[in-house]
Amino acid sequence: MNFVCRPARIGDAASCAPLVFASGEAEFGYMFGVGADECIAFLRDAFGSRFGRFSYRRHRLAVDVGNEPCSILAIHESGKVVVDDLVFAWQVLRHFGVTRAVGVLMRGARLAMELPAPSRGQALIAHCATHAAYRSRGALTALMTSVLDGEGAQRCFVLDVRLDNVRARALYCRLGFKAMPKRRAPGKPGLPDGLASERMGVDRSERAEPQRLLQRRSSLR
């Protein structure tokens, strides 16, 4: 099936919020401390904002012939971490109120130890998910490829994958991602079981080399 990859739009909020939630149901449930419906309500509001890591401006989509989102991901650059944290704090305060926001921000900080911000010169790919009706049909592969092979200044992309998500890890390996050296043992104390993750990365110059070799071989035939 062919998919069109495009930037997300503010009008995509209602259809994209459940997809963003699906990218990390356990993580969002832990951080916000509420059920799926309220998590999605927060993500829908945040997706409609022009700013922050949940904004529609950070997300890209693979859509079908009817322009319905099939797959989603977000791209976060290292230079925007501080502003993103401030925007997130404001969004949490506005949505949950002061008393509940304190717990959300504390759990969010704990989760950030397991899912750290990108280092300088890196771009973090996050919120990767595919609608259930389009899984195993190449939507996320098409979307990831459009990002990795697209124009842009970033050379190194990183992402985090849960240790128990074998299927997603296999996809990322096929796209050229490799496990990065651990700065510490996975599984930060205080996090629920099952939230331990592995950071993977790909250098675009290394990814491009096999493609150049294939093109060179084709030209010699």
pLDDT tens string 138-163:
999 999 999 998 866 568 999 999 99
pLDDT tens string 5-60:
999 999 999 999 999 999 999 999 999 999 999 999 999 999 999 999 999 999 99
Is residue 188 within 8 Å of residue 110, measured between CB atoms?
Answer: yes
Q: What is the pLDDT of residue 128?
A: 98
Per-residue pLDDT at 214 exceeds 50: no
Task: Please state, for a pLDDT cut of 90, what percent of the chain lies above it.
Answer: 77
Confidence of residue 77 (pLDDT cuts 50, 70, 90): very high
Query: In which element (H, E) is residue 141 found?
Result: helix 139-148
**Helix axes of 25-32 and 36-47: crossing angle, nearest 10 degrees:** 90
- Per DSSP, which regions of the chain are E strands? 4-7, 59-63, 69-77, 122-130, 156-162, 178-179, 197-203
